[in-house]
């Protein structure tokens, strides 16, 4: 050891020179250490930004798709909500209508019950009044039995017709009961039209077809219908079957005097028609036209009065006298003032106005 330490140092051989190389960053050497194929620095830095760009775009696309689907679901749910609200409103309306209908039916049932009670009350009162008539000697037992049977079999109709007459005296009530009994035995009504027109005999406006159509319809229903017309010079007599003049004197009151009339009868479409022709005032209906003359009011006043005089003279007792427009409207006051007590107590007046275009021409 001492020899070695004490020995002189010889010159050491020169060491080999190692050339310094430029180190690469750790990040650049990692791929080769992991066994991944090595790339140049330029390629690595170039690929990394591209992959980083694609990922946000795909995520944005997915998010937008989810947003769109969510929006569609919201719209669909909102639509379903609105539909459900509409159905609920409809159910509420139906429920309200049903409740209203139930109330109406209950009110109707109550009203019918009250009417039924009134009908029974009136019928019972009439039966008692019939007993009173028998006891007082006004009617015999046979007629009393017929009247009782009439009341029992026609409770509704007799109550509707006689409820305002129960306060009358027995004698007056007996007249009403007998009149109702005679009417109940009929199959239909007796109706007389007093008119200025009737198709196809004399037709100017809608009145003519109305009178004919209504008369035919009523006859098909089983009623007896007649029509009274003036005997115009312009009548279409070819449509009248069995036209003949009645050999009888029929007078009517006009301008303070009685005046004779000629009466013609015939059949039109199965309807009995009576034509009244003045003798003294023959010029009233000898014109070429039906309306439009200065004496229209006098002409049709004469005809209206003559028609009522004819009904009384012939013994007719119609249930209804149907008058039309202004031409025969004066029949109404004449009937109630003069003729109602001449055997026409059971007759009623019906006025129909087709329009107000036609008016009487009156010259001072």
Average pLDDT on 300-309 reads: 95
pLDDT tens readout for residues 264-297:
998 898 888 999 999 998 889 988 889 888 899 9
Average pLDDT over residues 309-334: 93
Model pLDDT, residue 308: 96
Higher confidence at residue 130 or residue 21? 130
- Higher pLDDT: 19 or 176? It is 176
Buried b (16+ CB within 10 A) or exposed e, 190-208: bbbbbbbbbbebbbebebb
23-46 per-position pLDDT tens digit: 544 444 444 433 444 445 555 444
Choose the weakest-confidence range: 37-41, 59-63, 230-234.
37-41
| The dihedral sign for the CA sequence 238, 244, 249, 250 | negative
The mean of the pLDDT values for the chain is 79
Fold of 188-352: Rossmann fold (3.40.50)
Output the six-digit token pair for 258. Answer: 């009685």
Q: Report whether 234 contacts 289 (CB < 8 A).
A: yes
- φ, ψ (nearest 5 deg) of residue 244: -155, 155
pLDDT (mean) for 235-263: 89
Is the pLDDT at 359 greater than 70? The verdict is no
Residue range 116-129, pLDDT digits in tens: 546 666 776 777 67
For residue 169, the SS3 value is coil
**pLDDT of the residue at 173:** 84
CA gap 160, 257 in Å, rounded: 43
Task: Please determine, for residue 330, whether its predicted confidence score (pLDDT) is greater than 80.
Answer: yes
The yes-or-no verdict on residue 299 having pLDDT over 90 is yes
Q: Is the pLDDT of residue 100 over 70?
A: yes
- CA-CA distance, 261 to 240, in Å (whole number)? 20
pLDDT in tens, 197-216: 999 999 998 899 999 999 99
Buried residues in 258-280 as b, exposed as e (16+ CB within 10 A) = ebebbbbebebbebbbbbbbbee
Write out the two tokens for 262: 């000629």
Mean pLDDT of 102-119: 66
Instruction: Quote the tokens at residue 54.
Output: 């694609």
CB 31 within 8 A of CB 43: no
> Could you tell me what percent of the chain has a pLDDT over 90?
31
Give the contacts of 300 (CB within 8 A, at least 6 positions apart). 196, 230, 326, 327, 328, 330, 360
What the block records as the tokens of 279 is: 């003798």
pLDDT of residue 307: 96
Supply the pLDDT for residue 357: 66
Mean per-residue pLDDT for 49-66? 69
pLDDT at 303 over 90: yes
Distance CA 109, CA 315 (A): 46
pLDDT for residue 117: 46
Most confident of 88-92, 110-114, 130-134: 88-92
327: pLDDT strictly greater than 80: yes
**Is the preceding peptide bond at 200 cis, omega within 30 degrees of 0?**
yes
Chain position carrying tokens 């390629």: 43
- CA distances to 41, 95, 98, 297 from 92, in Å: 78, 5, 10, 62
| Whether the predicted pLDDT of 21 surpasses 50 | no
Parse the chain into domains and list their residue ranges.
54-185, 188-352
Backbone region of residue 325 per phi and psi (left: phi > 0; alpha: psi in -120 to 50; beta: other values): left
Q: In what order do the strands lie in the sheet with 320-324?
A: 241-254, 257-268, 271-278, 224-230, 190-194, 320-324, 348-352
Q: pTM of whole model > 0.75? A: no
Per-residue confidence (pLDDT) for residue 151, from 0 to 100: 79
**If you write DSSP's letter for every residue of 306-360 in order, what string do you get?**
HHHHHHHHHT---SEEEEEHHHHTTHHHHIIIIITTTT-TT-EEEEE---SS---
The DSSP H or E segment spanning 177 is helix 170-184
pLDDT above 90 for 349: yes
- Distance (Å, rounded) from C-alpha 348 to C-alpha 330? 14
DSSP string, 200-225: TTB-SSHHHHHHHHHHHHHHHTT-EE
**Rounded to 5 degrees, what are φ and ψ at 146?**
-65, -40
Rounded to whole angstroms, the Cα distance separating 150 from 177 reads 9
Determine the average pLDDT of the residues in 308-332.
93
Separation of CA 57 from chain center: 69
């Amino acid at each position: 050891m001492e020899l070695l330490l004490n020995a002189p140092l010889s010159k050491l051989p020169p060491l080999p020179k190692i050339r310094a190389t430029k180190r690469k960053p750790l990040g650049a050497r990692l791929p080769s250490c992991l066994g991944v194929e090595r790339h140049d620095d330029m390629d690595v830095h170039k690929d990394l930004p591209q992959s980083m760009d694609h990922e946000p775009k795909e995520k944005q696309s997915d998010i937008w798709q989810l947003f769109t689907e969510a929006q569609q679901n919201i719209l669909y749910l909102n639509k379903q909500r609105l539909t459900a609200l509409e159905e609920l409103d409809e159910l509420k309306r139906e429920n309200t209508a049903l409740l209203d209908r139930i109330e109406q039916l209950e009110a109707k049932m109550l009203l019918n019950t009250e009417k039924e009670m009134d009908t029974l009350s009136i019928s019972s009162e009439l039966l008692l009044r019939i007993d009173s008539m028998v006891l007082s000697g006004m009617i015999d037992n046979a007629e009393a039995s017929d009247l009782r049977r009439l009341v029992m079999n026609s409770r509704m109709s007799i109550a509707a017709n006689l409820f305002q007459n129960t306060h009358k005296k027995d004698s007056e009530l007996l007249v009403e009961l007998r009149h109702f009994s005679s009417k109940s035995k009929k199959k239909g009504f007796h109706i007389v039209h007093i008119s200025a027109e009737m198709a196809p005999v004399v037709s100017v406006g809608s009145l003519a077809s109305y009178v004919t159509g209504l008369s035919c319809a009523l006859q098909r229903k089983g009623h007896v219908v007649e029509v009274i017309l003036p005997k115009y010079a312009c009548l279409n007599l070819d449509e009248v079957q069995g036209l003949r003049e009645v050999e009888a004197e029929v007078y009517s009151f006009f301008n303070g005097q009685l005046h004779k009339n000629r009466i013609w009868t015939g059949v039109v479409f199965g309807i009995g028609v009576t034509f009244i022709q003045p003798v003294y005032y023959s010029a009233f209906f000898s014109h070429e036209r039906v309306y439009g003359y200065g004496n229209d009011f006098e002409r049709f006043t004469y005809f209206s009065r003559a028609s009522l005089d004819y009904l009384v003279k012939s013994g007719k007792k119609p249930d209804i006298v149907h008058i039309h427009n202004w031409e025969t409207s004066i029949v109404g006051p004449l009937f109630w003032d003069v003729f109602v007590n001449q055997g026409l107590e059971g007759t009623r007046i019906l006025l129909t106005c087709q329009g107000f275009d036609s008016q009487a021409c009156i010259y001072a």
